[in-house]
Structure 1
Amino acid sequence: MHCQYILQLSLLTLLSLPGTLAMTWSVWYRDRDRTTVICASKGSSVVLDCTYRYPASQIVRRKIWFTTRGDTKLDGSQQGDGVYNTSGLIKERYRGRTEFYDQDNNCTLKLNNVTEDDRGRFFFRFEANGSSQLHQGFTGSWGVDLTISDAPKDVSVKVSPRPEVVKGSRLTLTCSNNANPAAETYTWFQRSGPLLSLRLGTGKEHTFNEIDSDDSGLYFCMAQNALGSQNSTEQEVKVRESAHLMVVLAAFGAFFLVTAVIVVLYIYIKRRKWNTAEKKLPTKPVPQIQKATLSRPEDIYENMRRSAKPITDPDDMNYAELNISPAPSPRRQLNNKAEDDDAHIYSQLQTH
């Protein structure tokens, strides 16, 4: 008896279920309890799955797909750009690109030739009225979030704390980009020439724990995902010496400069003194005896012959005796040739 009662109750429940469903206003997307997320590549086609329900007493007058950007309320009051409309205007960029599956309670929309501008959240809304001619509408709450997959773009390098740092500091380079799906690989390079680059490593960040002067230069990164890759613009990093070292170098340079100036001035003053002293030295007259040495041999011989007269002065006599002494040996004569010439010349002068 108890089992028969349960069976009858179950049958009554099944019989009443279609009527209950028929009285419900609803819109369902692929994911009923959350926002459906679809990722499509540029130029492809994407299908937005959708079903809807409404009371049997209502007659659907209009079916609409629209899209919104940014934060959107999910209370049914959403509004946006028309993508598909059975009896109204749509946005020009969607004209001729949509296909609507209008069968029974199917509200699926196909969007062809997807572009980056199609990025956003899509909603379906239908409007109906009954015998009372009261116009009613319902918008699905969660919607479909369409994202566009693309290779990395807008790749750039960010420097922390700043592009110019002191030697020994910590510096971090970060590679930023826009990509969908997100970039999977990041590669770092340092420019080593007009057409040459040095590969440094991989990772979204590249860190110098103690940067050195040799690390100054141009850096760039490459971001890559399954759809492609892109290089960033070059970022210059400058490494300068610490302030203490700069002071020491400046002091050393100043000392060297002052020392060089002092040395140059000292040499200049000494040279001026030497030049002044040389100008003040007296000029020594050239003795007339030097002219006598240039006399002709005939004159010297003649003078010697005339000096053979008697000598009365004892000094002259002694000098004459020295001149008429026996001739020295050939070797001694050669060695004392200059002295003999001077003696003969002197004798000439004495006779005059």
Structure 2
Amino acid sequence: MLQVILLLLPGVVSVEWRVNYSSPICAARGSNVTTDCTFTYPRKQRVQQVRWCSMKSNHDQKCMNGPYVYDSEANNNQNNFQYIGDKTSNCSLLISNINQTHSGEYKFKFITNDNEGRWTGDPGVEISVHDLKVYMSRSRENGSTVVGDSLNLTCTLDCPGKLTEVQWFKNGDPIQQSEPVLTFSRVTAKDSGNYSCSLRNFKTTVSEEFTIYIEADVTRTPAVLIIVVSLVSLAFITAAVMLIRRRKKRTQRKPMEEREEAQDPLYNTLQKTADKNVPKAKDVQQEDEVEYSFVSIKPKKWLQVSANTVQENDSTIYSAVMNG
């Protein structure tokens, strides 16, 4: 039986040049994306330069020539791309505020101090960028949304998997809801508005607004409300009719009084005579003052003399009676 024995001699090690990328990345516009990346090379060599390139602008498929989205030896790298790895094993790249123009395939290339030490990871990592969107599902399939309907608003992204935490907005203001599905069991007129969503803590990923307009459902209006409205309308109509009748009576009464006065000349003559003979308040006051002017008041001394005289006369009369 033939046996094959593989001997690994010390110092003779097979080393493979390699770049390992993360799985394809699906991102929301406005978010930050990290491409996890690792690389290996012969231990005796030392990495001197690292590069990232986009296959949209680099057509040789090996990043042999620029442009590069990142080059450790350049000073004009794009602001959106930041190398967060090192020159030993980590080749991760951070893309900030990503948008649809950043979609595509990216590759990592590194250069060592060896003349033949150049390697590009192939295939690269695929990145796709999409907008967040808001979709509505409701209990009524057709027609407009009316008061009392139930509906759901769902924040979605055209990527595999489901969103975990989001931030909801109504008319641009944040609301306390982190679930991807916003549920309305019974909508009211206050629920009308413009709704949008974004990734949690990433307002730059906010979606386009989705408008909800809630209409009043006449068929669901309570009968009591209809009765109240009818009674109020009847009260206004009754008040208006009564006011019109009162004004009409006043208008008819005034000409009648004027005609009665014009048809009674005797009443007018007597009225004028009475007004002429009745003295005015000023004249009466003057006559009273004239009569009062003839009253005279005697001096106190004269009054005393008169009193004595009366007393003496009484004594004389009394003495005459006694003597008789």
* Alignment TM class, shorter chain as reference: 0.3 to 0.5
Higher strand share: 1
How high is the TM-score relative to the length of structure 1? 0.40
